[in-house]
Each structure stands twice: as structure tokens, then as C-alpha cells.
Amino acid sequence: MIVINLDVMMAKRKIGLTELAGKVGITLANLSILKNNKAKAVRLETLDAICKALDCQPGDILEYVDDQEE
């Protein structure tokens, strides 16, 4: 399973949901879905914009966790 650690990176960068949504150019609702790990897919364009805004790598946000560990 892929886990989205967007909330962790946002905390490290001290940036709020509203500010990040503005920088990335997506709705607050869609960013919230990503932040709360409810997303089924992420467009590479969106991931690129998030990484640019947070000055991070995709691996800082996305993590693979073995389903059996749950």
C-alpha cells in the first residue's frame, strides 16, 4: 500500500493547507483528500507542483508500506 505523508512534510515546512493549495493550484478539498491519505490516485503534475512548493522529493511524500504490517 502507498501511504501519502503530505501532513508530515507540511509540518516540517510549516505550511498550512490553504497556503499550499494556493501554491499548488488545486482545491482545498482535493489537497485535504491527499493530506488525509484518502486519495486513490495522484496526478504526476500535482505531485510535481507539491514537491516544488515544499522543496522536497516525491519519496519524502510517498511511502510504500507492506499490507501485511497493518
Quick: pLDDT tens for 26-55. 999 999 999 999 999 999 999 999 999 999
| Structure confidence at residue 40 (pLDDT) | 92
Using only C-alpha atoms, the chain has a radius of gyration, in whole angstroms, of: 12
Residue 40 and residue 57: Cα distance in Å, rounded? 20
Residue 65: HSE in the Cβ half-sphere, 13 Å Cα cutoff: 11
Domains and CATH numbers, the chain: 2-69 (1.10.260.40)
Q: Kindly report the pTM of this predicted structure.
A: 0.88
pLDDT at position 68 over 90: no
How would residue 8 be classed by pLDDT, with cut points 50, 70 and 90? very high
pLDDT at 69: 57
- How high is the pLDDT of residue 67? 83
